Amino acid sequence: MASRPEDELIGDEDEYEEDYEEEYEDELEEVEELELAAEAAAGQAAAAADPQDDEEVTEGDEDDDEGSTEEEEESEDDNEVAQDWTGLRLIPEANQLLDILAQLKQDGRKQLTLLLLGKSGSGKSSTLNSLLGEKAAAVSAFKLQPDTESSTTYLRQVSLGDAELDGFRLKIIDTCGLEDPEAGDTVNYTALQRISEDIKGVPIDAVLYVDRLDLYRVEPLDKRIMQSISETFGRRIWQKTLLVLSHGNLPLPPPGTTFETFSERRISLLRKAVRGAFFKPALPAVIVENSEACKVDSDRCRILPDGSRWVVDLWGAAGDMALGSKPYSWRKGMGRKGGSSLKWLIPVVAYGQYLAWKTLLQPRLQKEEDKQAEADAAAWAAKAQERRRLGIGPPLQPTPENAWRLEQMYDDD
Ligand SMILES: Nc1nc2c(ncn2[C@@H]2O[C@H](COP(=O)(O)OP(=O)(O)OP(=O)(O)O)[C@@H](O)[C@H]2O)c(=O)[nH]1
Ligand SMILES: [Mg+2]
């Protein structure tokens, strides 16, 4: 089942946020654009400042140059040996999958690159095997030893004797779990850093953020992992991300829920954990069931409890993500730490302060000054009248300049 944002069931507590989003949609988009542009600029600046990265800067620092990075990557891939995609012949949903690959090919693409991210045991490697139709990656219920590799790349090539599609490549990058298995409930920052180095300059068509469907809560560790992904890869990575929810069979939805309502709620909670007040990536969601016990329909296509064909939906969502916008590509300095994301706010706040002074404070101060000047003039006029009555000359009223000088002298004393 591919659940899109517009299908999302909105709970009561989400209503205020949704209203707010609708009312300020344009402003939010504008701010988001500005933030992402600032992020990209910061990445480019950092890459330019790092002499070791000179090559990457010239290859891919501008949007316009992204094509050249892609070409570079593709030519690199051309030299990599891609195994025949044997699993493609075995996938029951192959016909629909070939349609999606044909669309990508028509769009001028020679390769689809997917990156899997998520906690350990969430089902990344199992999802990879489902996508390939092969038991390519090792899958285990228990983690017995820490990962030795931060990422493993699987490269396959279509060879079906179909002139149209043969040669099309599928690259899937599987990664290790993002929590630290030895330090307990903490984020594996080293793994994140290594993954980012592994994918440096590789154009990613879609990121699959894998988590389990059958959980009630988004834990603090999950939120920290999401935050760390933003910090390491830059928030724009979420704009190329699909939420993939494994264990989609959900044999016993919790009391008071159905498969549909439980799933919608879970997806909504995950989206909320990624999104911020000014950052609303779409995060299309797909539910998957990787186990062999997954039900199938009369065409042997694997289905979820609601009858939807999840393999087709997963491929469809990945294809849409690839066709929807330019690939994501990590470059040094793209991520950011701490509050630096709010740097763009400095000029905005300064301008706000200036406006507040100009429109509120300054007119009030001016009014006070005018009042004081009026009172002074009245006092001097009274003094002059009194002196005239006594037959003596007018009082020596200091000019504004003299008054200022006297004031300075008085201060110095
Ligand atoms: N029932 C069911 N089990 C699943 C599903 N996806 C994964 N599993 C099981 O969950 C366990 C972990 O799956 P993996 O695919 O190894 O998880 P991973 O995210 O690759 O884990 P790490 O490699 O440790 O990061 C294995 O026992 C899988 O068989 C699913 O959709 N349904
Ligand atoms: Mg794995």
290 Cβ partners below 8 Å, 6+ apart? 123, 126, 127, 129, 130, 246
Confidence of residue 350 (pLDDT cuts 50, 70, 90): confident
Residue 375 tokens, joined: 């009172």
Residue 122: CB within 6 Å of ligand 1? Answer: yes
Write the Ramachandran bin of 250: left for phi over 0, alpha for psi from -120 to 50, otherwise beta: left
Eight-state DSSP code of residue 214: S
Degrees (nearest 5) of the Cα angle 297, 299, 303?
Answer: 35
**What mean pLDDT is predicted for residues 252-266?**
95
Q: What is the DSSP string of 254-310?
A: PTT--HHHHHHHHHHHHHHHH-BTTB-----EEE---STT--B-TT--BB-TTS-BH
Predicted TM-score (pTM) of the model is: 0.73
Res 46: pLDDT = 62
Query: From CA 283, how far away is CA 134, in angstroms rounded?
Result: 27
Q: Which residue has the higher pLDDT, 145 or 29?
A: 145
Query: From CA 224, how far away is CA 245, in angstroms rounded?
Result: 19
Pairing of strands 206-212, 151-157: unpaired
Neighbouring C-beta atoms of residue 134, cutoff 10 Å: 18
Are 85 and 157 a contacting pair, CB within 8 Å?
yes
Query: From CA 41, how far away is CA 403, in angstroms rounded?
Result: 53
Eight-state DSSP code of residue 92: T
Query: From CA 168, how far away is CA 171, in angstroms rounded?
Result: 10
Among 238, 225, 251, 229, smallest CA distance to 120 is for 225
Residue 125: CB within 6 Å of ligand 1? Answer: yes
Q: Strand pairing partners for 211? A: 245
Neighbouring C-beta atoms of residue 200, cutoff 10 Å: 15
Whole-Å CA distances, 354 to 346, 347, 351: 12, 10, 5
Query: From CA 195, how far away is CA 152, in angstroms rounded?
Result: 10
Query: From CA 365, how far away is CA 347, in angstroms rounded?
Result: 25
Confidence of residue 347 (pLDDT cuts 50, 70, 90): confident
Residue 397: CB within 6 Å of ligand 1? Answer: no
Whole-Å CA distances, 133 to 32, 92, 125, 325: 38, 9, 12, 27
Residue 284: CB within 6 Å of ligand 1? Answer: no
Are 268 and 218 a contacting pair, CB within 8 Å?
no
Res 225: pLDDT = 97
Confidence of residue 69 (pLDDT cuts 50, 70, 90): very low
Among 326, 244, 225, smallest CA distance to 283 is for 244
The segment with the largest mean pLDDT, out of 249-263, 307-321, 361-375, is 307-321
Confidence of residue 156 (pLDDT cuts 50, 70, 90): very high
Res 43: pLDDT = 63
CA of 160 to the centre of ligand 2 (A): 28
**Positive or negative: CA dihedral 248, 252, 254, 260:** positive
What share of the chain in percent tops pLDDT 90? 54
CA of 247 to the centre of ligand 1 (A): 8
Res 278: pLDDT = 84
Q: Among 34-43, 153-162, 290-299, 367-376, whose mean pLDDT is lowest?
A: 34-43
pLDDT surpassing 90 at residue 88: yes
Res 62: pLDDT = 37
Q: Which residue has the higher pLDDT, 155 or 413?
A: 155
pLDDT digits (tens, 9 = 90+) for 3-51: 444 444 334 445 545 555 555 556 556 666 666 666 666 666 666 655 4
**What mean pLDDT is predicted for residues 287-310?**
97
Residue 177: CB within 6 Å of ligand 1? Answer: yes
CA of 136 to the centre of ligand 1 (A): 13
CA of 127 to the centre of ligand 1 (A): 8
Q: How far is CA 148 from the centre of its chain?
A: 28
**What mean pLDDT is predicted for residues 42-68?**
46
Res 214: pLDDT = 96
Average pLDDT for the chain:
83
pLDDT surpassing 70 at residue 295: yes
Q: Among 35-44, 254-263, 337-346, whose mean pLDDT is lowest?
A: 337-346
**Which ligand 1 atom is at minimum distance from the Cα of 290?**
31
Q: What are the φ and ψ backbone dihedral angles of 207, each rounded to 5 degrees?
A: -100, 135
CA of 188 to the centre of ligand 2 (A): 15
Pocket probe mutation, ligand 1, options 128, 134, 140, max atoms within 8 Å of Cβ: 140
CA of 366 to the centre of ligand 1 (A): 71
Res 348: pLDDT = 79
CA atoms within 13 A on the CB side of 165: 22
**What mean pLDDT is predicted for residues 135-148?**
84
Residue 151: CB within 6 Å of ligand 1? Answer: no
Residue 120: CB within 6 Å of ligand 1? Answer: yes
Residue 316: CB within 6 Å of ligand 1? Answer: no
Res 334: pLDDT = 79
Name the CA dihedral angle for 332, 69, 38, 188, rounded to a multiple of 10 degrees. -40
Q: Which residue has the higher pLDDT, 341 or 282?
A: 282
pLDDT surpassing 50 at residue 314: yes
Residue 212: CB within 6 Å of ligand 1? Answer: no
Residue 302: CB within 6 Å of ligand 1? Answer: no
Q: Going by CA atoms, what residue is nearest to atom 8 of ligand 1? A: 123
**Which ligand 1 atom is at minimum distance from the Cα of 176?**
25
Are 98 and 170 a contacting pair, CB within 8 Å?
no
Residue 175: CB within 6 Å of ligand 1? Answer: no
CA of 180 to the centre of ligand 2 (A): 14
**What mean pLDDT is predicted for residues 344-372?**
83
Query: From CA 305, how far away is CA 320, in angstroms rounded?
Result: 24
